[in-house]
Amino acid sequence: MGAPDLIFELRSKGYSIRADGGYLDISPADLPPEVVQTIRQSKAEIMTELQREARAEWRRQKVIAMLEAAPSTQRAIYPDTDSDPHNVILAIAIRHVATCEMLIPKAKYDPWRLLELIERLGQTTH
């Protein structure tokens, strides 16, 4: 079982799990011994996954804050060029619709082309 599956399983059973510095904070602490052993064996992978989740939530909150700061704006886009060595992660929020993320390989990422597409297609309604 990989880290995402283990985290999902713990959360579906009512446990809270988060990274706290170099430690895992899991509550309540009444985990069965076999689960504790699995967590110990997978700690590095679990920490990486929790940090990835936290970074994704940070990006989501960033684009939501951008929309809140500009009430007349319908879309907010934040390009994260630091979190992934191979991809640019675009966090996108559309007011009253949704937020999402898009991965673009760094070798193919052109911010000027992205701006051009937003300008050209920004008025399109689907």
The per-residue DSSP string of 31-70 comes to --HHHHHHHHHTHHHHHHHHHHHHHHHHHHHHHHHHHHH-
Mean pLDDT of 101-106: 96
Q: What is the pTM of this model?
A: 0.81
Residue 104 lies in a domain: yes
Segment 2-31 mean pLDDT: 93
Report yes or no on 53 lying in a domain: yes
The residue range of the domain holding 88 is 3-121
State yes or no: pLDDT of 125 exceeds 60.
no
Prior bond to 28 cis, omega within 30?
yes
- Residue 126 falls within a domain, yes or no? no
> At 126, is the pLDDT very low, low, confident or very high (cuts 50, 70, 90)?
very low
Instruction: Report the percentage of the chain scoring pLDDT > 90.
Output: 83
Answer whether residue 35 is part of any domain. yes
Q: How far apart are CA 44 and CA 50, in angstroms?
A: 10
Residue 81 covered by a domain = yes
| Contact status, residue 102 vs residue 118, Cβ threshold 8 Å | no
Domain total in the chain = 1
Confidence of residue 118 (pLDDT cuts 50, 70, 90): confident
